[in-house]
Amino acid sequence: MLKKLLAAAAALSALGMANAAPMYYEFEWKGFDVFSTNPWTGETNGGWSPLASIKGYFKGEDLNGDNIIVLSEISRLGIDAGGWRPSELIGCPDTAWNTGGLTSCSIGAFSYVKGGDLTLQASGEWSSSGSVYSYRSWSMPGGGYQRTSNDVCCGSSWANATPETTFTITASVPEPSTWAMLGAGLLLTAGVARRRDR
């Protein structure tokens, strides 16, 4: 009887470790009212764009088992808004101020209810030289994103979420370490079962 309990405990432990291990998630909000300001004339134009999106990824682990992944439980967060490469917002800057790339960032809020909503507020500044910059900020759900730049080519743009904005999130395949823990647990379970049969 004791061996059966040990086998069951080992199996549950392996499954629990796999469930609690860090997972990658990819997310996307799609469909925004998008506007931009012409830097030469100051005119603003735009409207509904079903293809406009805020998308990105994060790596997180529900450490306290409350079914919510919060800012202190994520180790990676990257956001791509409108064609920009996803930039890692944890541990930035990733480049020096005079070489281009992400030079500063902040994450004001992050919360993901597993199987439910993702809430995030973040910002980042990119620089292509010491004097030219582009600043982006995101606030979702219910907000959108803003981009401002001091480059004469670009002006500013922003997107507002609407009731038609959709949200999707998918969990990626667990990391190899997760599979290793699951495999070790299953081997332990098989070993206990085999000894029991003898």
CA 93 to chain centre: 17
Prediction pTM value: 0.71
* DSSP state letters, 117-180: -EEEEEEEEEESSSS-EEEEEEEETTTEEEEEESSTTT-EEEEEEEEEEEEEEEEPPPPHHHHH
Segment 109-166, tens digit of pLDDT: 999 999 999 999 998 877 766 665 677 888 998 888 888 776 656 678 889 999 999 9
Give the span between the Cα atoms of 137 and 144, in whole angstroms: 8
Q: Are 33 and 173 in contact (CB under 8 A)?
A: no
Across the range 26-54, mean pLDDT stands at 89
Segment 96-107, tens digit of pLDDT: 444 456 677 889
Q: Are 123 and 135 in contact (CB under 8 A)?
A: yes
